[in-house]
Amino acid sequence: MHVVAAFDLSAQLELVIADLEERGLKKEHIYAIPLDKTNKKAFFDTMHHSDGKALFDGVALWGGFFCCLGTIYGFVLPWGPVLWGMIGFVGGSLFGAGIKAATTKIRLQSLKSRSRTEVFLLVNCEDEMVSVVEKALWNHHAFGVAVVPRNSQGA
């Protein structure tokens, strides 16, 4: 049987591997597979992917808000509503970009220490050892555990 579990790259992963080896599993039957994380940055969220870190949404929001204010107050100011609306849009867009840059910098500093690699642990074992392996994985704080029969066909 194959037992698959997900872990953070941490001391718990090392402890569960040592625990499984103490229970009689050989090193050749335990595979730790780290996953790569993407560094791709998007300027705006799409319909299929939204990470909440896009730059365009705050810029558009503040630009539109200041554009409306510029247009409204432009009726009483000397250059007129159209020019003040454009000035408001540019000013609001710069204001929104500044806020987004400042909050992103603060958020990235706090997330740097918490950013970890996720690791999948694949354990090949006999049928009678499955419950022991599952219990050991859960005891060491696995994110999730799945048991896959050896002869199963993937879809």
* pLDDT score recorded for residue 102: 81
Give how far the C-alpha of residue 23 lies from the chain's centroid of Cα atoms, to the nearest Å: 34
* pLDDT score recorded for residue 127: 86
Cα gap 126→145, rounded to integer Å: 16
The residues of the chain scoring below 70 in pLDDT are: 38-55, 105-117, 152-155
Cα gap 3→144, rounded to integer Å: 11
* pLDDT score recorded for residue 111: 55
pTM: 0.52
* pLDDT score recorded for residue 88: 94
Cα gap 108→85, rounded to integer Å: 34
* pLDDT score recorded for residue 68: 95
Query: Hey, which bits of 46-90 come out as E strands?
Result: none
- Structurally, what CATH architecture does the domain formed by 2-35+117-148 represent? 2-Layer Sandwich (3.30)
The β-bridge relationship of strands 144-148 and 118-124 is unpaired
CA angle 91–97–98, rounded 5-degree value: 90
| Residues 113-130: tens digit of each pLDDT | 555 668 899 999 888 888
| Side-chain half-sphere exposure of 107, counting CA atoms within 13 A | 8
* pLDDT score recorded for residue 155: 46
Residue 6: name the closest of 34, 25, 27, 28 by CA: 34
* pLDDT score recorded for residue 65: 94
* C-alpha dihedral (111, 142, 151, 34), degrees to nearest 10: 30
Cα gap 8→12, rounded to integer Å: 8
